Amino acid sequence: MLSRKLKLLVLLLAVPVILFGCGTDKGKNLEMGEITYEIIKIPSAEFEKLYQGEFAGWYDENHKVEGLHSFTDGKERYLLLSAGEKPTGGYYLENLVILGREKEIEVKAKLHAPGKDEIVTMAFSYPHLLVRIAEDGRQLVFGGIEGNVEPKESDIRKDTGRFMGQIDSNSIEVKVSGVPEGISLRAFQLGDSIKEGFDKYGLEPGDEISFTYKTPGNGERPVIIELSKVNHSRL
């Protein structure tokens, strides 16, 4: 009888340990650093299989729109990275980098532009990449497209959102208001005047902010040049 009770006690003590171990393994399974991905060629047999129903509607709606777009199908996540409209053919995206961090995944690439003497199709084109990765629930961060020249050399815009934290001493993450949830988390570079006195803003993750930023004409991260907490006077 005593031996039986002892076995029962050991079993009860072991269960929490097993459960705890299962919980910690989930976090360890997150891919960090450069994430494994698969490029879906367009056109291809694989793309034709995918191109139906909701996926087809999502692709048609977004592949011409500059930025990062995502579509989740069970355990798989599809990323559509688009450089927007270009005046001719000969443009394509290269040097794709997908970086995994603890709470987010950053996606960035480089735009190849045709050379002056290169023969290209004289029609509008919309260079984009379709990529498949594992779905693990992390937020997406659009890191920009290097070399993606915008119509204007520089464009100044104003926006609001939630401050989510610092990436490093030069950059922060903001969940921009009015943007679809899957792509609302954006990386912004801090302008020199903002960076030097950033601590005085006293920002905590989740704080509502209003900010003015400049979008460079070379696909780099937008640069915040004015910043204030919502419902607070500008610092």
* Residue 13 confidence class, pLDDT cut points 50, 70, 90: low
Whether 4 is in a domain gets the answer no
Whether 142 and 168 share a structural domain: no
| pLDDT value, residue 219 | 57
Percent of the chain with pLDDT over 90: 60
* Residue 192 confidence class, pLDDT cut points 50, 70, 90: confident
Whether 206 and 164 share a structural domain: yes
Whether 172 and 227 share a structural domain: yes
Q: Does 177 have pLDDT greater than 60? A: yes
- Over range 171-177, report the average pLDDT: 94
Whether residue 212 contacts residue 161, with contact meaning beta carbons closer than 8 Å, is answered with no
- Over range 99-120, report the average pLDDT: 92
Q: Does 130 have pLDDT greater than 90? A: yes
- Over range 120-127, report the average pLDDT: 84
| pLDDT value, residue 198 | 92
pLDDT, tens only, 16-72: 444 444 443 344 589 999 999 999 999 999 999 999 999 999 999 999 999 999 999
- Over range 140-148, report the average pLDDT: 93
Residues 6+ apart with CB under 8 A from 114: 88, 89, 90, 91, 120
Q: Does 10 have pLDDT greater than 90? A: no
Q: For residue 111, give both structure tokens.
A: 């735009």
**Amino acid present at 178:** G
| pLDDT value, residue 175 | 95
Q: Give the residue from 98, 120, 146 where a domain finishes.
A: 146
CATH code for the domain of 159: 2.40.50.320
- Over range 105-129, report the average pLDDT: 90
Whether 232 and 184 share a structural domain: yes
- What's the domain range around 84? 30-146
Secondary structure letter of residue 233 according to DSSP: -
Q: Does 188 have pLDDT greater than 80? A: yes
Whether 74 and 136 share a structural domain: yes
Whether 223 is in a domain gets the answer yes
Whether 34 and 76 share a structural domain: yes
Q: Give the residue from 146, 179, 200 where a domain finishes.
A: 146
Whether 129 and 204 share a structural domain: no
Specify the number of domains making up the chain. Answer: 2
* Residue 145 confidence class, pLDDT cut points 50, 70, 90: very high
| pLDDT value, residue 26 | 46
Whether residue 82 contacts residue 107, with contact meaning beta carbons closer than 8 Å, is answered with no
* Dist CA 163 CA 145 (whole Å): 23
| pLDDT value, residue 70 | 97
Whether 120 and 158 share a structural domain: no
* Dist CA 113 CA 91 (whole Å): 5
